[in-house]
Amino acid sequence: MRTFLDKIPYSVLILVAVLMILAPFRPVPHVLEKLIMLKNGTLTRPTDIFDLFFHLIPAILLLLKIYSRQTK
């Protein structure tokens, strides 16, 4: 039985990961804004933490897919 990650094509996962990392395109992508907040120690609101995690989910899935393929 194929796992959930094996069913998602790389092309779709890469496209979604890039779009989610860069969204919104203006004025500043949320991921960059939240990483700056994390660096400064101001990432304390649950909404901001969820937003960072939400925007990074496709990138995390892509990294897990690459890692699982390397370990097979």
Residue 39 domain boundaries = 4-71
Are the CB atoms for 8 and 58 separated by under 8 Å?
no
Whose tokens are 């969204």? That residue is 23
What tens digit of pLDDT does each residue of 18-68 get? 999 998 888 888 899 999 999 999 999 999 999 999 999 999 999 999 998
pLDDT > 70: percent of the chain: 96
* Interaxial angle between packed helices 30-40 and 46-71, expressed in degrees from 0 to 180 and rounded to the nearest 10: 110
Q: What is the pTM of this model?
A: 0.83
Residue 72 pLDDT exceeds 80: no
Tokens of residue 58, six digits: 């496709």
- Structural domains in the chain (count): 1
> Cα 9–17–30 angle (5° rounding)?
165
Report the alpha-carbon distance of residue 65 to residue 6 in Å, rounded. 7
